[in-house]
Structure 1
Amino acid sequence: MSAFDPASATIAIVTYNRSGLLTRLLGSIVSMDPKPGHVVIIDNASTDDTGDVVESFRDKIGAELVYRRMETNTGGSGGFSEGMRVAHEIGSTWIWLMDDDVEVIPDGLAKMGKWAPRFQSIQGRRYDYDGSEFYWQYRVAEPLGIPIPFAPAGFDASGYKEMNSGCFEGMFIHRDIVSRIGLPDPRFFIYWDDQLYGWLASRQTTSVIVDEFVLRRTREIKQWDMGIRHMNASSNAYRYYIMRNRAYIKHYYRELGVYRPVPFAIGTALTFGKELIRLFFVERTVRGTSNLFRGLRDGGKISRDRSWKPMPPLTS
């Protein structure tokens, strides 16, 4: 591939009623060197001053700013699908996806661009809210359809590790891969969408996580310190979609001929058990289990839908 041109990159941000966090992220983009050619902001029908905040940065962000306000809240999944669509439509070669609760390291784009001539699906590293190194589960146990929590965190002299997952908090992907696998699936609403999308990308190209710190998380989340790893607090909505959306993964697996009923059912059971542990030990409550069962019930209906189709490829 040819040398990386920062102007060919677009940062696509999804935000919802967090104008304070968005202000911090946009401020970090102002300080970037080099800057991307475009910044696309997808506003999931916020009711705060998000629109005013975006306009206040238009003349100082140093890139062409594209603002899209959705008519309804489409969740992170719908927001990132729309952000990817807009970025692809305006001709971006590289698309860098971000939530609104991160900020960019000033030379982050240069660090990602260093790997762009070699790979087409790249994940950088993140600092956590407290400045520590954030561990992300970059490998998926494919038959189970769940992340591997003990995948090695260290890097060798190559500076990268192959991955078969993805995270929309920092996914850096080439438009050719997006064209082949289509847009992220908005039907997920939240959860599993980025893991599935990264897995789809890894079937088209060598996907990697690189030893480059390019983002910093700016929102503190309640955690249970397990020593080697942390487990974050969740919400009733997350619990519901975690279980419901297993059905969408099952559909994609079936479509691509990798679905194995018994291992996948084990993965679903392990996911259910993990969410119970999260409830009991992180949030210290037993309330919320009904959302897990509702998710399983509705997921069963989705998995029996014979009319279901995957997201279609895009044309360049």
Structure 2
Amino acid sequence: MAAASERLDAPTTTPFDPASATIAVVTYNRSALLSRLLESIERMDPKPGHVVIIDNASTDDTTELVESFRERLGTELVYRRLETNTGGSGGFSAGMQTAYELGSTWIWVMDDDVEVIPDGLAKMGKWAPRFKSIQGRRYDFDGSEFYWQYRIADRMGIPIPFAPAGFDESGFKEMNSGCFEGMFIHRDIVSRIGFPDPRFFIYWDDQMYGWLASRQTTSVIVNEFVLRRTREIKQWDMGIRHMNASSDAYRYYIMRNRAHIKQYYRSLGAYNAPLFALGTTLTFAKELIRLAVVERTLRGTSHLFRGLRDGRRIARDRSWRPMPPLV
């Protein structure tokens, strides 16, 4: 992996070409939501050069739905159905690999539970000459502004929950994280940090990928609304931000995948044992609050402990290696 000092920060005078971009979508058994996303892509102007759909072995009518859009989408559609459910992490890894192999200069990744604002690609492309790792903004299901934690406490490996949400006249803020619900990334950065790590399965994968990107280039979140969530999620409105409901699977991977983050930090010389342990403790406490306040139960704590236990095995694995760079 390239050293952080060899950064790719030089702006370019080359105009953004929408045909050089690929939208990569990961879906699993949510054809109704996927249909809304594809309909929004159909309305886009301009459109990307390719749309890649990674199907995590859905058992519903996803295949038939995708094929029904092949002629009407107005751009080249690439459909790849995986043999097993590899989780969001495996899906985004496959999606980014497919887009990269298509020769895409820009890769725009997203889940199936969003829709694209019609001029979303033009809004992202406006920033493409200046930056190579870009995050746009999203509307929530109810049309409100969705707040995303764009900065992490570096050595603790956890999001800073109340980082300032406002933008100044520059229209962007530097970030050191990432979110696969809208990450817009240049192939040069992908070449340096490799594809997303499928070992995460779900959770923390995009934060880690965004952190790796920020070590190579200036990563930014821009004041451009480009996506809208189409799925309502139970949440606790805290005023400044929301806390969403979760699941037993998420609780498990939230704690287990701390070990993968620890291994990445070790491999890059960024690991601080006391601070990282504090980050793990705060994560555990946050999940207890989520259970008690959002879901109004304490059932599910066993999955947190099980994740910690399995994470210890990962952290002790001397054969563990980060995802390799492509160049």
TM-score computed with the length of structure 1 as normaliser: 0.99
Q: How does 1:76-225 map to 2 (within 5 A)?
A: 76-225=88-237
Residue of 278, 291, 295 corresponding to 1:283: 295
Q: Match of 2:51, SS?
A: strand
Letter in 2 for 1:164: N
For residues 166 and 143 of structure 1, what CA distance do their matches in structure 2 show? 16
Residue of 280, 285, 299 corresponding to 1:268: 280
Letter in 2 for 1:203: R
Residue of 21, 41, 61 corresponding to 1:29: 41
For residues 78 and 237 of structure 2, what CA distance do their matches in structure 1 show? 40
For residues 117 and 229 of structure 1, what CA distance do their matches in structure 2 show? 31
Following superposition, the deviation at residue 229 of structure 1 comes to 1.6
Letter in 2 for 1:71: E
Following superposition, the deviation at residue 286 of structure 1 comes to 1.1
Residue of 6, 28, 31 corresponding to 2:18: 6
Say if 2:270 is the partner of 1:258: yes
CA displacement 1:89-113 (0-9 Å, x = unmatched): 0100000000000000000000000
Letter in 1 for 2:254: I
CA displacement 1:44-93 (0-9 Å, x = unmatched): 00000000000000001011000000000000000000000000001000
Give me the identity figure in percent.
Answer: 83
Q: Match of 1:241, SS?
A: helix
Kept in 1, the 8 Å contact 2:135–2:220? The answer is yes
CA displacement 1:235-270 (0-9 Å, x = unmatched): 000000000000000000000001000000000000
Structure 1: segments with no counterpart, 5+ residues: none
For residues 192 and 101 of structure 2, what CA distance do their matches in structure 1 show? 14
For residues 227 and 106 of structure 1, what CA distance do their matches in structure 2 show? 29
Following superposition, the deviation at residue 225 of structure 1 comes to 1.4
For residues 188 and 272 of structure 1, what CA distance do their matches in structure 2 show? 18
Q: Match of 1:155, SS?
A: coil
Q: How does 1:230-241 map to 2 (within 5 A)?
A: 230-241=242-253
For residues 155 and 278 of structure 1, what CA distance do their matches in structure 2 show? 29
Q: How does 1:301-316 map to 2 (within 5 A)?
A: 301-315=313-327
Q: Match of 2:185, SS?
A: strand
Say if 2:256 is the partner of 1:244: yes
Following superposition, the deviation at residue 230 of structure 1 comes to 1.1
Matched residue, 1:69: 81
TM-score computed with the length of structure 2 as normaliser: 0.96
Question: Which of structure 1's runs of 4+ aligned residues deviate more than 2 A?
Answer: none
For residues 109 and 228 of structure 1, what CA distance do their matches in structure 2 show? 28
CA displacement 1:169-201 (0-9 Å, x = unmatched): 000000000000000000000000000000000
For residues 150 and 195 of structure 2, what CA distance do their matches in structure 1 show? 20
Following superposition, the deviation at residue 215 of structure 1 comes to 0.1
